[in-house]
Amino acid sequence: MIPWRIVAGIAAKDLRIERRSRTGLLTALLFALMVQLIVVFAHDGGSLPLHVYAPSVLWITVALASLLTLNRAFHLERTHAALDAILLAPVPRAALFWGKWLANVAFVALVIVVALPVWLIWFDVTPVPGLLLLLPVALCTVAGMTAVGTVFSAMAVRTRVGEMLLPVMLLPFFIPPVYFASQATLQLLIERPFAAAALEAWRWVRLLLLFDIAFLTMAHMLFPAVVDE
């Protein structure tokens, strides 16, 4: 059984640190905007209009911003050996995982909420009813990516080249969720009634959910092996 009170406590602690310093969140936000800006100017300006790239850009941005966030997740614990203190406390290892995971998801979700309107404007996305479902799709995507990411970040932070190592380990795991999410987005962006868009997108979202369940379960089981001495 997972003690949810402890989970909430750990997540709240991480988010409180973020709220007080704000550097992490601000950096991630700026980063998410700059990735999109880079795409605008990398675009050849000719053959294809920008909105064609909209779904791809969105999920590339989410993937990269998640990487940045995850790199940070356990750096917080590294200063003053804070992680050792948590491990000494009667906190089940699995609860530590769920707490860190929850904080990471919340953090990335916050970045997405700010980046989405900018994306809508910059990439000339037609306002269709399906867009209302973009945030739930994003949550399903980030849930799975962050499940793997939280475990890997706890490992990477203990190595000498952590920041460089994490993307190399993690990006192959982002391929299925990014693909499913892009396809779901494609379905949501087609102009049609809300229910029709939702139904088509669901075909991809259920794959996302499958990924989430599989990797959250696995992360829950493997995380203790990462932090235990």
Partner 1 sequence: MTLDPAAAERQLRRGRGVTLFGLAALAALFVVALRFTPPERYQGLAQKIFYVHPPAAYAMQLAFVLMGVASILYLLLKDERFDCFAEASAEVGLLFGGIVVLTGPLWGKPIWGTWWTWEDPRLGFTIIQLLLAAGYFALRSAVRDPVERARFSAVMGVMALLLVPFNHLTVYLFASQHPRPVVLAPERPKAPWEMLRVFFGGLLTFTILYLGFVMQRYGIAVRHALREERIDA
What the block records as the tokens of 43 is: 């675009």
Does 158 bind partner 1 (CB under 8 A)? Our answer is yes
Q: What are the distances in angstroms from CA 95 to CA 25, 104, 212?
A: 24, 14, 18
Kindly tell me which of 122 and 163 has the beta carbon lying closer to partner 1.
163
Region of 19-27, 67-75, 188-196, 212-220 interacting with partner 1 (CB under 8 A): 212-220
Stretch that binds partner 1, among 7-15, 121-129, 187-195, 217-225 (CB under 8 A): 217-225
- Which residue's CB is nearer to partner 1, number 24 or number 149? 149
Position among 54, 215, 216, 220 found at the interface with partner 1 (CB under 8 A): 215
Give the type of residue at 128: V
The CA-atom distances, in angstroms, between 38 and each of 33, 57, 63, 119, 185 are: 9, 10, 15, 12, 21
Least Å from the CB of residue 56 to partner 1: 13
> Does the protein bind partner 1 through residue 225 (CB under 8 A)?
yes
- Please choose, from the candidates 55, 65, 66, the residue with its C-alpha nearest in 3D space to the C-alpha of residue 143: 66
CB of 180 to partner 1, least distance (A): 8
Rounded to a whole number of angstroms, the minimum distance from the CB of residue 60 to partner 1 is 16
Q: How far apart are CA 138 and CA 226, in angstroms?
A: 27
Q: Which of 85, 159, 193, 206 binds partner 1 (CB under 8 A)?
A: 159
Q: Closest approach of Cβ 97 to partner 1, in Å?
A: 12
148, 189, 197, 205: residue in contact with partner 1 (rule CB under 8 A):
148
According to DSSP, residue 157 is labeled: T
Subset of residues 160 to 199 that bind partner 1, contact rule: CB under 8 A: 160-162, 165, 168-169, 171-173, 175-176, 179-180, 183
Contact predicate 60/143, CB 8 Å:
no
Cα 189-191-192 angle, rounded to 5 deg: 115
SS (HEC) of 67-88: HHHHHHHCHHHHHHHHHHHHHH
Contacts of 75 (CB under 8 A, 6+ apart): 157, 162
Residues in contact with partner 1 by the rule CB under 8 A: 148, 151-152, 155-156, 158-162, 165, 168-169, 171-173, 175-176, 179-180, 183, 207, 211, 214-215, 218, 222, 225-226
